[in-house]
Amino acid sequence: MTKATKRAALACAVAAALGLALYFNGSTAADEVADNQVTAAATLAADPAAVARGAYVSIQGDCAACHTVPGGRAFAGGYGLQTPFGVIYSTNITPDIKTGIGNWTERDFFRAVRHGRHKNGQLLYPAMPYNAYVKISDADMHDLWAYMRTLQPVEQSPSHNTLGFPYNIRHALWGWNLLFFDNAPFVTQPAQSAAWNRGRYLVDGPGHCAACHTPKNFLGGDTGRYLQGAELLGSYAPEITADPYRGLGSWSREQLQTYLRTGANHQAIASGAMGEAIEFSTQHLNDQDLAAIAEYLKSVPGSNSIKPQAMATTEPVMRRGAQVYEQNCMACHNVAGEGIAGMVTGFADNPGIRTPSGSNLVAAILKGSKAVTTSGNVTGAGMPSFDWKLGDADIAAVLTYVRNSWGNAASQITPEQVATARRTLDAKPQMLRHF
């Protein structure tokens, strides 16, 4: 065989393999179990028991949070999902025939949710986490469809996305799917308990936890650092593995369940994107499912982070940080960073304080923070903004102090980092004092 023949054979083999991979990742054959006749707007009554189960599946998937504008009509779309590539607006998924999914069949719905395919064949952006929803079982999908058919139709067209070139080219999603979409159903692991498998199903499937908590590459695909924390547009979704220093290793299962149920526990108070997830989703899960999630997450191996050496209290930045803390933070967060359980974040030995970038802490001081309000914790305390009061150097100093005190050790926050966040977050400049 000549060299030219060998090269041609290799090229054919590569092309065949690529074609096979494209075919597999593009296959929606698994969705053919769904009905392809009855539309969402059809008057045929749905089974009430299936509707109730489907409402619970919708809660697991946090569907309302993304498909409802705050203060708007439920599931009517229009919520702007901020991505590094631009804003993607969620669609109307009510049974409205003109602007929603009223003329969709169950099979159309299955293909959109689990395989990112619109009824018209258009590929959906993975801001709709079909790469996680592909794990949702046939039974849960049938029930979810039954529930969606009962929603009140709302006529509301979505806004246009603001993605720039080349991210506005949907055909490029074929390549994205080939690289990052695992077109495979959820498979139980017989060696593990039923609760562990249920927890993994909820975390990897409807809960789509990796969408925020797994680091992304420059194309927005998941890296191999599963649930090990990710920077997301100026905020940080922390590690949620069993890692003892940056993950959940120091929390008991009960403490983790309390956090997911109420938005607060002995140490942490949820706000921002996690607050929304708890408000719309996890607080409504039953105790068995919360226990299953806790059992699974506590088993996930983490980044095996090594605790660094804390900065010495004699360092000038630590001395300045201690002064700023005493004058501005101690009244709520207490003398030794104890916080107030269920109301004010405790800083002492807190993995959320030791995140690699500290961006959440910078944002909280600059813009303030509002704790989520849940049925299990109605306080929903707030933290005021300090952008007007503290300069970049003082914010950097106090955060460096907090991140290196009371059992914590983490990298120094710099004034330049705070200045960048102040601009990015459109925070106020420090108010000048005149004496």
Binding residues: 63, 66-67, 209, 212-213, 329, 332-333
Scan for tokens 């030995």, then name that residue.
349
What is the amino acid identity at position 33?
V
Burial 265-286 (b: 16+ CB within 10 A, else e): bebbbbbbebbbbbbbbbbbbe
Q: How far apart are CA 162 and CA 383, in angstroms?
A: 32
Which residues sit in the known binding site for heme c?
A: 63, 66-67, 209, 212-213, 329, 332-333
Q: Residues 6 or more apart from 315 whose CB is under 8 A from it?
A: none
